[in-house]
Amino acid sequence: MTIEAKLSERTKYMQANALREILKVVAQENIISLAGGNPAPESFPLELIRQLSSDALDKFGAGALQYDKTEGFEPLREALFDYLPEQGVVNVNRQTLSIFSGSQSILDIVGKVLVSPGDKIAIEAPSYVGAISAFNPYQPTYVSVATDDDGVIPEALEAVLKQHTIKFVYLLPTFQNPTGRTLPLERRKQVAALLENYDVLLLEDDPYNALRYSGETLPPIQQYAPDHVIYSGTFSKILAPGLRIGFCVAPAALARWLVIAKQGSDLHTQSFGQAIAALYLTGGYLRTHLPYIINLYRQRRDAMLATLEAHMPNGFQWVRPEGGMFLWMTGPIGLDAESLYQECIKRGVAFVPGKYCYFDAGVGLETMRLNFTMTAPEVSTKAVQTIATVAEQTIVKA
Ligand SMILES: Cc1ncc(COP(=O)(O)O)c(C=O)c1O
C-alpha cells in the first residue's frame, strides 16, 4: 500500500520539526548540547512530587484518576484563579480559563479553531518553530513582522495589520524562544492598542515569564487588551514538563470553542498531573521552589555570558537575556552558522543554527540559539570555548 496516497491534504502540510531532528542527532552522539530547550533535570523537585502524588490521592481519592471535565480539574482551576492575577493576567474566571495538555496543545487547538486554509497569521521572525509545526496543518500563510533587540516593532506590526487581514498575531513577549528578548512595557501597551484598533486577536505564548533572573517583572500584553488576547502558560518550566499541564485564558466566547475542540481531541488533560499541580500552587511550594530554579539558571546564564565575552571573536553579538532559557547570537554577515554547527559537532559541541527558527528560507543564516539552562557552568564554558575557536577559524578562512 502506498501510504502517501492515503494522506489527507492537511497531513501534507505537516513537516518534521527541524529542531526535533537536530535534537535526535545530538542525543545519539556523545556531545555537549547547547541545542536543547529542556529544563535542567536537577530543577525538578523529585521528593516534593513524590509527596504531592501521595497527598493528591489522600485529598482527591479516585477523583484524581477519573475522567474529568474538559475545562480542567476544578482544584487546579481554583488555584489558578489566585495565581494568574498575581502574574498580571486579568479576567481569569470559569468562563475564560481552561487547562490543556501542555501549552503546545494550546497552539494546536487555537490553530484548529481559528485558521481556515489561506488565513494569515502574523508572526515575529525568528519565532518558536514548535508553533509553526502546530499551525501548519491548518494551512495558514504567515506574514513576518520585523523585530529588533527589544522584540517586535509596533510600527512594523501596524504596517502588517494595515496591509493584511490577519486572523491572529502570534507573539512571545517575554524571554522569547529563540532570542531571549523581552518586549518593553511601552511596546506592550502599543501592541495592545493596535489589537484593539484593528480588532485583531493575539496569541500571547508565555512559558518563561516566571524565570526572571534580573530586571523588572512586566505585565503580559493580555492585561491591556483582555478581549483580544489568548494568554497561554505552562507548568513545564516551573514544575516539570512531563506532567504536560498548560493553561489558557481567552475571551469567554472563544474559550468555549477551544474547550469544544479539545473535547474531540483528548477529552481532558490528565487529572493526576493536574491534581499535583493544584497542590503545588495551593501548598505554596512554587514560592519556595522557584527561587531555587532561578538561582540555578541565573548562574548558568551569567557563566555563559562571561565566557562569550571572554572568547568570542569580533563580529559576534549576542542578546543578554533577563530570563528564560536561551541566548541568541549573531555572527558577521556572510557567516554560515550551519557550517559552524557541523564543525562544532565534530568537536563534540552542538547548538541550534538560527535559520531553523525562521519560516522563510534563506533568512538568519548567521544566527544561532544557545541554551544555557541544561549545562553546568564548567561544561558550558568548554562548549562556548569550542564554538569560539571554530568561529575564529571560520572567519579567518572566510
Ligand atoms: C515558546 C514555547 N511555547 C510553547 C512550548 C510548549 O511547552 P509545553 O507544551 O511543555 O507547555 C514551548 C516549549 O519549550 C515553548 O518554548
C-beta of residue 173 within 8 angstroms of C-beta of residue 183: yes
How do residues 374-390 score in pLDDT, each as one tens digit?
Answer: 999 999 999 999 999 99
Of 177, 181, 208, 243, the residue with max ligand 1 atoms within 8 A of its CB, to mutate for a pocket test, comes to 177
- Tell the CATH superfamily of the 3-44+290-397 domain: Aspartate Aminotransferase, domain 1 (3.90.1150.10)
Q: Do the beta carbons of residue 126 and residue 268 sit within 8 Å?
A: no
Ligand 1 lined by 108 (C-beta under 6 Å) = no
Q: 205 CA distance to ligand 1 centroid (A)?
A: 8
**Cβ 177 under 6 angstroms from ligand 1:** yes
Ligand 1 atom nearest to 105, measured from its CA: 9
d(Cα 57, Cα 261) in Å, to the nearest integer?
29
- All three cell numbers of 337: 552558522
For the chain, what's the residue count?
398
- 36 close to ligand 1 (CB < 6 Angstrom): no
Question: For the segment 207-226, what is each residue's pLDDT rounded down to a tens digit?
Answer: 999 999 999 999 999 999 99
User: Can you tell me the distance from the alpha carbon of 270 to that of 73, in angstroms, rounded to the nearest whole number?
Assistant: 9
Q: How far, in Å, CA of 262 to CA of 361, rounded?
A: 33
Site to substitute for ligand 1 among 100, 103, 123, most atoms within 8 A of C-beta: 103
Q: Is 46-286 assigned to CATH 3.40.50.1370? A: no
Parse the chain into domains and list their residue ranges. Answer: 3-44+290-397, 46-286
Q: What is the sign, positive or negative, of the torsion defined by CA atoms of 21, 236, 214, 176? A: positive
If you take atom 6 of ligand 1, which residue's CA is the nearest one?
Answer: 104
- Give the predicted TM-score (pTM) of the model: 0.95
Atom of ligand 1 nearest to the CA of 101: 9
Is residue 24 over pLDDT 80? no
Residue 173 Cβ inside 6 Å of ligand 1? The answer reads: no
Q: Give residue 36 CA to ligand 1 midpoint distance, Å.
A: 12
Give residue-wise pLDDT tens across range 290-309: 999 999 999 999 999 999 99
* pLDDT at residue number 37: 87
